[in-house]
């Protein structure tokens, strides 16, 4: 596959090797050697090739963020609908047996959504200022304001009996939903989203997305051992979860967010052949 379909020339790079090296040197400083480290390792220290891989990761992240946008909105609305039906009110969070962390997320979201105090614009100098009445915060505003971690956390083991079994499993009507595998998938997609939001690498080899490191602690007769294990997921996972919620939404999202571009980038020559 022609990589030129997925990248533009390096900014300000010309055929003049001296000018090109100046730009690359500045990029090394701007992006940091630490951030470029994995790319430099994959390209055996070739800075120009490393920056091109960085650009490839940038384009992959841009496309994935659109897909994850649709995923997050579909997930929270599906879960909100089921919780509303189960508890009989749109502010279901006031009745649900939420733990302290989830309760704090709701309180913080409500506080964030409160409008700022406003005053009449026709006050004369020295007049007594009386705030205008403020509209109450709606459940819809709170639901949109809580984080993705909030929804992922609702599928954790602590909520299996109170929320998952009687209610949240129905948010995924197109599969025989299992809480353990659902929670794992949602956690993986949350980690992917967070890496993109924090401008981290998600580009992996062999058509996979990199979602971070798992730290494994084991013990035997010789002592305690710490192992780092890289974690990868297939890009199709995001659409698989959306498909479990609504097949039509998944089909629409695949086209609207140009999901095929993700697959093309991951199948391109550098991503396919380099160990990164």
3-state SS track over the chain: CCHHHHCCCCCCCCCCHHHHHHHHHHHHHHHCHHHHHHHHHHCCCCHHHHHHHHHHHHHHHHHHHHHHHHHHHHHHHHHHHHHHHHHCCCCHHHCCCCCHHHHHHHHHHHHHHCCCCCCCCCCCCCCCCCCCCCCCCCHHHHHHHCCHHHHHHCCCHHHHHHHHCCCHHHHCCCCCCCHHHHHHHHHHHHHHHHHHHCCCCCECCCCCEEEEEEEEEEEECCEEEEEEEEEEECCCHHHHHHHHHCHHHHHHHHHHCCHHHHHHHHHCHHHHHCCC
Work out the percent of the chain whose per-residue pLDDT is above 90: 63
Does the pLDDT value for residue 11 go beyond 70?
no
232 compared with 224, residue with greater pLDDT: 232
Query: What pLDDT, in 10s, does the model give residues 192-220?
Result: 999 999 999 999 888 999 999 887 776 67
pTM, 2 dp? 0.84
Query: What pLDDT, in 10s, does the model give residues 157-182?
Result: 999 999 999 999 999 999 988 999 99
Query: What pLDDT, in 10s, does the model give residues 186-197?
Result: 999 999 999 999
């Amino acid at each position: 596959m022609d990589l030129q379909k997925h990248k533009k020339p390096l900014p300000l790079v010309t055929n003049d090797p001296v000018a090109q090296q100046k730009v690359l040197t500045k990029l090394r400083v701007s992006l940091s050697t630490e951030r470029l480290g994995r790319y430099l390792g994959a390209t055996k220290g070739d800075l120009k090739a490393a920056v091109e891989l960085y650009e490839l990761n940038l384009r992959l992240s841009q496309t994935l963020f659109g897909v994850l946008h649709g995923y997050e909105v579909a997930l929270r609305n599906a879960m909100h609908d089921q919780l509303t039906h189960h508890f009989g009110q749109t502010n279901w969070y006031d009745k649900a047996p939420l733990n302290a962390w989830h309760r704090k997320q709701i309180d913080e979201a409500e506080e964030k959504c409160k409008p700022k105090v406003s005053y009449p614009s026709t006050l004369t100098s020295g007049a007594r200022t009386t705030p205008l009445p403020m509209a109450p915060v709606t459940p819809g505003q709170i639901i949109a304001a809580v984080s993705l971690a909030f929804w992922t956390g609702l599928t954790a083991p602590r909520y299996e009996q109170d929320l998952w079994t009687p209610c949240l499993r129905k948010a995924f009507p197109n599969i025989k939903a299992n809480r353990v595998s659902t929670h794992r998938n949602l956690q993986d997609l949350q980690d992917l989203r967070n890496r993109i939001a924090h401008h981290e690498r998600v580009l992996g080899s062999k058509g996979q997305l990199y979602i971070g490191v798992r730290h494994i602690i084991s013990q035997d007769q010789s002592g305690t051992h710490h192992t780092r294990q890289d974690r990868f997921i297939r890009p199709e996972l995001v659409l698989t979860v959306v498909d479990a919620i609504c097949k039509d939404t998944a089909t629409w999202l695949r086209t609207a967010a140009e999901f095929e571009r993700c697959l093309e980038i991951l199948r391109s020559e550098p991503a396919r052949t380099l160990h990164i």
